[in-house]
Every structure is written in structure tokens, then in C-alpha cells.
Amino acid sequence: MSESQTWPGMQFGLMSVSDITQDPTTGRTPSEGERIAAAVTMAKHAEEAGLDVFAIGEHHNPPFFSSSPTTLLAYIAAQTERIIVSTSTTLITTNDPVKIAEDYAMLQHLSGGRMDVMMGRGNTGPVYPWFGKDIRQGLPLALENYNLLHRLWREDVVDWEGKFRTPLQGFTSTPRPLDDVPPFVWHGSIRTPEIAEQAAYYGDGFFANNIFWPAEHYQRLIGLYRQRWEHYGHGAPETAIVGLGGQAFIRKNSQDAKNEFRPYFDNAPVYGHGPSMEDFTKMTPLTVGSPQEVIDRYAGMRDLFGDYQRQLFLMDHAGLPLKTVLEQIDILAEDVVPVLRKELAVNRPASVPDAPTHAQLVAAKYGDQAPRQSVPSANRGDNLTDGSPYQDTAAVNDAKPGSAFGAAATRK
């Protein structure tokens, strides 16, 4: 790898919403199986090309395929060596936080720490009743469920009572997080200031979707998050952990990119049959053109939002065939990202944290000490442990938890 590829300040990668969309140029719609296999191919190709992150969304209805992100991401992690696997949404509202705690801790172990997770409420209204939830309680669900999840990853034994699920008494989520360090959490949002507030309160990352709205909209959300980050005692606003979405279609020649992508844009379920491609690219970060045009657009994100830690691109949407998507990954990784790494490293203040990794979080918690390895107490004969669930539980619970990114991140 080149020096620019190993710069730890920022991570670049792909995000997918897992849509299954007809290719408007051929009339062909891929099967669910084809799109699942394509996601694996994309992630492996992204690693080979030198990108840092692959993130998949969560949906529970056609025409999407990613109903079990941890299964897909674990499979990808087993076939890769370096890339971080993540989610572009994990539904904190309709998933049981106990199951999220267990599933993502398992993914953390299987990936060797090469994972993190983005919490979100999603944008499919009917999913709430499918899982026995009330959409009118979407925001309170997000707040309460994450409060429980945050504790489950940090306390060996949890007593808890809330509004939206049955109480927990003496509950232990297994497996414990790898090295007793919870996965890094991003809180993703398109429009909700309360989610920016939540991310700041816990000292977590904030990921702005940054796809469908003008920059001014996301400036307000990110500005609020940075302000509240400082308010809760995590440090100066520029030390907050920010991620951005984005989307691009790139060819060596700008007009070739526009001609090739136009039928996909015009027929896309999300933004087709609305504003023209030219108007949409003016209003949003979608950039269709040459590598230099994409570089200019995304190097300018720092001027809008401040220094940040993660930039993900949506590249497999709107029915684009896999061959084209792989070509796009190559152009992004070879002609765009190396330049962005260099440009965004220039004049970056030393106070701005590097992009979060498991190794960084372990070092922040333990320093030169060996990390905790959770060893259960003995089975007393009824599939429960005798006394404390882990041999060192008392010692761990007596210790004050630490924070990688700010003093107030110890909140429960």
C-alpha cells in the first residue's frame, strides 16, 4: 500500500442500501441471490482496490435483500483481511436491543474487530407493525433501545426496565464484546436533530446521510452534533467523530459519465421522474462526471462540515450492473480516493481524531496492558453460572469504565 492508503485520519468506502432494481438499459432485474452474491463481490473488490469500509443497510421487504446484515457481513469478513465491515443502517427501533448486542458482538469476534455499526430508524414505515412496534413511537424507541444496548455492551450484569420491552433482571449479553471493548457506534440520520443529540450525549459518531438534501440541511445537523459534543464534555467541537454519505458516477470523460448514468438516474425509484440530473447534482452531493470533478466536490466537504473521519459512497444503486459497479470501484479507488486522502490530510489540526478502529479503542482503554478476555464461571448444573457470570466480573464491575473520545462517554 502507498503511504496515502495507510493514513489513519480518514476512512473511505462503500455503502449499499441493498436495492434490487431493474436495469433500464436492458430491462433485466437481477434475482435476490444475484444481488447477495454481488454484494460479497463488491466488498472483496473494494478491499483489493484499497478502500477501507464496506457497509450494508437493513431492510425487511422487497425489493431489497439485506434482512440479516450480520450474516452477510460475517461472511464477507471471513473472506477478507483488512476491510472494515459495517452497516449503513441497523434498525434500533424494531430490533430487540438484546439481539443487536449479541449479534454484533459475535460479528466483532468473527471479524477480529474489523467492524462497527450504524444505528438508524430506517425509512420504511410498514416495518414497525411487522415487528410489533408503533411508528408513532419511532423516536422514543430509538432513544430507549439504544440506552439499553449501550449498557448491555458495558455491564456484565444488567437490571433494566423501560417502556417498550419486558424488564431484564440479572441479564448478561453473550458473547461479551471483543477485548471488553464495545463496537464503535455511528448514529445515522437524514433529518432528525434528536439523533444528533443522542450521538453527542454518548460520545458516539454521527453519520449524516448527505445524499438527498442540500448541504445546508446537513450543516445544521452536524453543527448541532458538534456543539452538543462539547456541551457533554467530550472535547472541542472539532474533536467530534463525523461521517458522510455521498454518491458518484465516474468516467474518465465527464460527458461519457453523464450519458451513461442518465437512464439510471431518470428511472431510479428514489429520485427518478423528478428534478433533472443536472438540477439534482446541483442540489445534492451526487456527482456525475470525471475523477477531478468528484475530487473537487468531495474535497470541498471539509469546508462545509469541518474535518471528518469517514466518507462512504453509494455506487451499486438504480439498477447498475455488477460489471459497471466494479469499474466504478476501481476508478474511485485509483483516481479519486488517493487524491482525497492527500488533500484532506493537508492542514488537518492535530486535535482532530483519526477514524475509529478497534485497535484504537483497545489502546485508549488499556494502554500497554493486556485487554480483558471474558472467561465464564462454571456451569452449576442447570446451564447457568454459579455466582458471577464471569470469573473476573466483580473486579471489572468495580473498575470505572473509560472512554476513547471523551470523558462523558462513560454515561450509562
H/E/C letters for each residue in 334-366? HHHHHHHHHHHHCCCCCCCCCCCCHHHHHHHHH
Give the domain extent around 9: 4-410
Higher pLDDT pick, 344 / 121? 344
Q: Any idea of the CA torsion for 375, 378, 382, 386, to the nearest 10 degrees?
A: -100
The length of the chain is 412
Over 80: is that where the pLDDT of 193 sits? yes
Over 90: is that where the pLDDT of 409 sits? no
Over 80: is that where the pLDDT of 401 sits? no
Q: pLDDT band for 126, please (50, 70, 90 cuts).
A: confident
CA distance 404 to 412: 15
Segment (H or E) for 34 = helix 32-49
Strand 310-314 with 11-16, pairing: parallel
Q: pLDDT band for 213, please (50, 70, 90 cuts).
A: confident
Give the domain CATH number at 126: 3.20.20.30
Segment (H or E) for 11 = strand 11-16
Output the pTM of the full model: 0.92
- Contacts of residues 272-275 at CB distance under 8 Å and 24 or more positions apart, as own/partner, are 272/318
Over 90: is that where the pLDDT of 379 sits? no
Q: pLDDT band for 145, please (50, 70, 90 cuts).
A: very high
Q: What is the mean pLDDT of the segment spanning 275-281?
A: 94
pLDDT of residue 269: 85
Over 60: is that where the pLDDT of 128 sits? yes
Over 70: is that where the pLDDT of 259 sits? yes
Q: Is the backbone peptide bond immediately before 321 cis, with ω within 30 degrees of 0?
A: no
pLDDT of residue 403: 32
pLDDT of residue 270: 80
Q: What is the mean pLDDT of the segment spanning 158-169?
A: 94
Q: pLDDT band for 335, please (50, 70, 90 cuts).
A: very high
CB neighbour list of residue 136: distance below 8 Å, 6 or more residues apart:
none
What is the residue-averaged pLDDT of the chain?
91
pLDDT of residue 124: 73
What's at 50, amino acid-wise? G
Over 50: is that where the pLDDT of 3 sits? no
Q: What is the mean pLDDT of the segment spanning 322-349?
A: 97
Helix segments in 50-177, DSSP class H? 69-78, 97-110, 127-130, 138-152
Over 90: is that where the pLDDT of 154 sits? yes
67-96: pLDDT as tens digits: 999 999 999 999 999 999 999 999 999 899
Return the C-alpha cell found at 22: 431493474
State how many domains the chain has.
1
Return the C-alpha cell found at 58: 437493513
Q: What is the mean pLDDT of the segment spanning 118-143?
A: 85
231-241: pLDDT as tens digits: 999 999 999 99
